[in-house]
Amino acid sequence: MPVTFEKIFIYGLTFFSLFNIFLILSVFLEKPLRRRAYSRNRKGLPKVSVIIPAYNEEEHIAETIEHVLKLDYPRAKLEVIVVDDGSKDRTYEVAKRFVKKGVKVFRKRNGGKGGAVNFGIKIASGDVVATLDADSFPERKALLKMLPYFEDKRVMAVTPAMLIHRPKNFIEKIQYAEYLFGVFLRKVLAFVNAIHVTPGPFSLFRREFFEKHGLFDEKNITEDTEIALRMQKHHYKIENALDARVTTVGPSKFRNLVRQRLRWYTGFVNNSLKYKELMNIYEYGFMALVLIFAYVSVATGFMYVAYISYKNAQSLSNYFNQLYLLGLDALNPANLSWVEFREGMLNYLSDPLIFLGLLAIVTVFLLMALVKRYSGDKTKLVPSLTLFVIFYIFLYVSFWGAIFINKVLLRRKVKW
């Protein structure tokens, strides 16, 4: 077998991917998923303030507040604060309806999500502060499942298992699988204390952190990444409760999804550069590795797509050549030969890369089935996961491509 540049290239990529997979598995297999028993002793529970920042969320805000009010938690220890960030629609009026149920509703001039959350934190009286995006819905036991992680004094934040709310179309289904994979990954990252984002849909924070190290960065486009990295910088811990399910509404249109990712990924780049000391492996270990690998993965993603496109273009041109040479006879099934088909398949399946790729897909399916079962979600897995396996890499690369165009070529600023 001749060693070509193509071979070195593709085997190098595969090796890097394998290394990543086994790094993840080394954590996952060693520390099997364990439910943490939540506290039965209701007297010892801390006071929790749930802060719901809302901007133009009249459609979902009522359902979100209802979910919070239905949380299995002593009412006296649960403070609910809605901060309307100068919405142009009826968000404020809808939220106002819940005042009689003890919900505190405020309205401020529009100033971004970070500002709205900070506004709430300043008012909040709880020892634990929860942020909840106004289009996200925590399950009843979520709080009880997440709070026990605060027993460790170094834990400053606890993240939930975040899933897409009732995925229907293609874009939502792909996101569902992506989030499910994220649920798995976040748990693994929690084991080695390398979580780099505490997402808006129901992350819990120890109030003490805000007092010592300041509130959310109001100018940041992804304030949830900034605060997580700030915690990591100070060597605190961020935990994850795999069985605390929170569903969130994902963009249902491709345009909006791209816009969301443009914000997320640009925010990630900005913040990881802001805290670039975190990339020092000798001080931050896995945290550093995760940040570095995030960048390397983008590069490898591009390389994979380039390679796949090259290969597909090649076989497509072969196919067209056959059509050109043979005309309609190329399509006539009578001219297909079983031996040719069998030998072609053998060629294909005996390729180490195809073999490894299939193995990886099977592993992803099994892991995702496990995680889904564990999180207790009822959405159908197979359609989403199939779409994910086929299309995700292209989506991912196009997001980063959009960022590159936006940031480097057009030098546009990304707004919240």
Partner 1 sequence: MVRYTREFKARIVFALAFAVVFLALAILAGRVVSDARAQSIRNLEGEIRTALDDFTIATELRGDICASQTYVDLLTRKLDEEGTKISALEEKYGKSHPRIVNAKKLYNVLLLKHYLAVKELNEMCGANFTTILFFYSNQPLYKDVSEDQGIILGLIRKKFSDRVRVYALDVDLGLATVDFLREKYGVESVPAVVIDGKTYGYLTKEQVEEILSSGNKSEGL
Residues in the interface with partner 1 (CB under 8 A) total 48
Of 47-55, 122-130, 279-287, 383-391, the window that binds partner 1 (rule: CB under 8 A) is 279-287
Q: Does 273 bind partner 1 (CB under 8 A)?
A: no
Q: How far apart are CA 322 and CA 250, in angstroms?
A: 44
* CA nearest to 50, candidates 200, 250, 214, 264: 200
Nearest approach, Cβ of 283 to partner 1 (angstroms)? 6
Touching partner 1, residues 181-220 (CB under 8 A): 192-193
Q: Does 292 bind partner 1 (CB under 8 A)?
A: no
Strands 237-248 and 136-138: antiparallel
Is residue 103 within 8 Å of 95, Cβ to Cβ? yes
Q: Does 327 bind partner 1 (CB under 8 A)?
A: yes
Instruction: Select 208 or 340, whichever has its Cβ closest to partner 1.
Output: 340
Touching partner 1, residues 28-67 (CB under 8 A): none
Question: 6, 72, 152, 351: which one contacts partner 1 (CB under 8 A)?
Answer: 351
Instruction: Select 74 or 327, whichever has its Cβ closest to partner 1.
Output: 327
Q: Does 367 bind partner 1 (CB under 8 A)?
A: no
Question: 5, 282, 378, 415: which one contacts partner 1 (CB under 8 A)?
Answer: 282
Question: 125, 283, 310, 314: which one contacts partner 1 (CB under 8 A)?
Answer: 283
CA distances (Å), origin 228, targets 20, 22, 49, 184:
23, 25, 19, 18
Write each residue from 229 to 268 as x if it is in contact with partner 1 (CB under 8 A), else as -, in one continuous string.
------x---------------------------------
- Within the chain, what is the greatest distance between any pair of CA atoms? 81
Strands 48-54 and 128-132: parallel
Is residue 159 within 8 Å of 241, Cβ to Cβ? yes
**Interface with partner 1 by CB under 8 A: which residues?**
1-2, 11, 14-15, 18-23, 25-27, 192-193, 235, 281-287, 321-322, 325-327, 329-330, 334-335, 337, 339-340, 343-344, 346-347, 349-353, 355-356, 359
